[in-house]
């Protein structure tokens, strides 16, 4: 099953001057996105089916400036392209690692399409983002927000209806380890005009970790019925033994392995436990 390729613009720092995006040959700035939850939501939002190779201009990618202050200014004020304003939405976890005369590849939305971003965030989090915003609590932005948004733009195939899910307690492992991390601070420096300005710098510091960590994170098993559904939906002619899965809204990301847990429990069942019990006539 071949995935569709969707085309959008992507711009580096050489294309941006004083908040305006331009290019001599725009075709050189075209990149492709593979099918994802983002493209699926786009189709639902616009009530249209995206074709393979179709170009869309409501969404663009932009490399932010290397300077944190300049990057924040573009994030807050937006950029102009083709006489239309585009505003920063988010950077994926992989986009944050990219550098090319700037730092952090960021997704921007055209000003008349920003409501799409709000609708997408409601779907990808089942309203959790709004709860976080209203609570004013401190959170880990990468784990609680950006990881979910990034999940929505990673390529995937839609493979049928969501099966029933059982969530078990997460196994833990106690780890003690010394490592180094960075701590941000502000310092005063002089620019090329000998004028004093403030910039961000970092100190390398030692950190001692002594805590429990999750193990087998993202690992799961699934019944043969689920794998038959995947095989049918993807129209493949071999048995599927494992799959990398995404579960949007509830934030599932990991690998499932085929295992007939129901048959296993039926064979090895001895007595009811805190985690399962044998029942009959429950319909």
Question: What is the per-residue pLDDT across 235-280, written as a single tens digit (0 to 9) for each?
Answer: 889 999 999 888 777 777 888 999 998 888 888 888 888 877 877 7
> What's this model's pTM, rounded to 2 decimal places?
0.73
Q: What are phi and psi of 71, to 5 degrees?
A: -65, -40
Please tell me the distance from the alpha carbon of residue 250 to that of residue 270, in angstroms, as a whole number: 33
Contact 30, 8 (CB under 8 A): yes
Ranges under pLDDT 50 in the chain: none
Query: pLDDT tens for residues 88-118?
Result: 999 988 888 887 778 889 999 999 999 999 9
pLDDT of residue 281: 67
> Residue 201: which of 68, 64, 13 has the closest Cα?
68
Please tell me the distance from the alpha carbon of residue 130 to that of residue 123, in angstroms, as a whole number: 11
Please tell me the distance from the alpha carbon of residue 35 to that of residue 33, in angstroms, as a whole number: 7
Nearest-5° angle of CA 29, CA 63, CA 86?
Answer: 80
pLDDT of residue 247: 78
> Alpha carbon of 60 to those of 90, 173, 200, 237: distances in Å?
11, 42, 28, 37
pLDDT of residue 147: 82
> Residue 107: which of 61, 41, 58, 63 has the closest Cα?
61
pLDDT of residue 119: 94
Q: What are phi and psi of 274, to 5 degrees?
A: -70, -20
pLDDT of residue 120: 93
Q: What are phi and psi of 19, to 5 degrees?
A: 80, 10
């Amino acid at each position: 099953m071949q995935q569709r390729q969707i085309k959008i613009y992507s711009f580096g720092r050489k294309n941006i001057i004083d908040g305006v995006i331009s290019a001599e040959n725009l075709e050189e700035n075209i990149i492709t996105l593979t099918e994802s939850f983002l493209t699926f939501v786009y189709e639902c939002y616009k009530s249209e089916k995206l074709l393979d190779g179709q170009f869309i201009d409501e969404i663009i990618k932009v490399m932010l400036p290397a300077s944190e202050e300049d990057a924040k200014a573009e994030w807050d004020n937006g950029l102009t392209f083709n006489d239309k304003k585009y505003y920063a939405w988010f950077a994926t976890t992989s986009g944050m690692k990219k550098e090319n005369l700037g730092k952090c590849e960021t997704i921007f939305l055209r000003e008349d399409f920003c409501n799409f971003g709000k609708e997408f965030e409601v779907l990808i989090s089942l309203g959790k983002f709004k709860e976080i915003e209203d609570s004013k609590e401190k959170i880990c932005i990468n784990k609680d927000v950006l990881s979910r948004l990034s999940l929505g733009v990673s390529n995937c195939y839609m493979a049928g209806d969501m099966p029933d899910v059982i969530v078990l307690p997460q196994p833990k492992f106690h780890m003690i380890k010394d490592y180094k991390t960075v701590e941000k601070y502000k310092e005063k420096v002089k620019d090329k005009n000998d004028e004093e300005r403030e910039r961000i710098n970092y100190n390398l510091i030692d950190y001692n970790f002594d805590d429990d960590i999750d193990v087998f994170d993202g690992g799961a098993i699934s019944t043969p019925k689920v794998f038959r559904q995947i095989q049918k939906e993807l129209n493949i002619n071999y048995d599927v033994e494992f799959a990398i899965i995404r579960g949007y809204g509830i934030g599932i990301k990991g690998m499932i392995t085929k295992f007939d847990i129901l048959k296993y429990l039926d064979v090895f069942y001895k007595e009811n436990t805190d985690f399962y019990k044998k029942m009959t006539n429950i319909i």
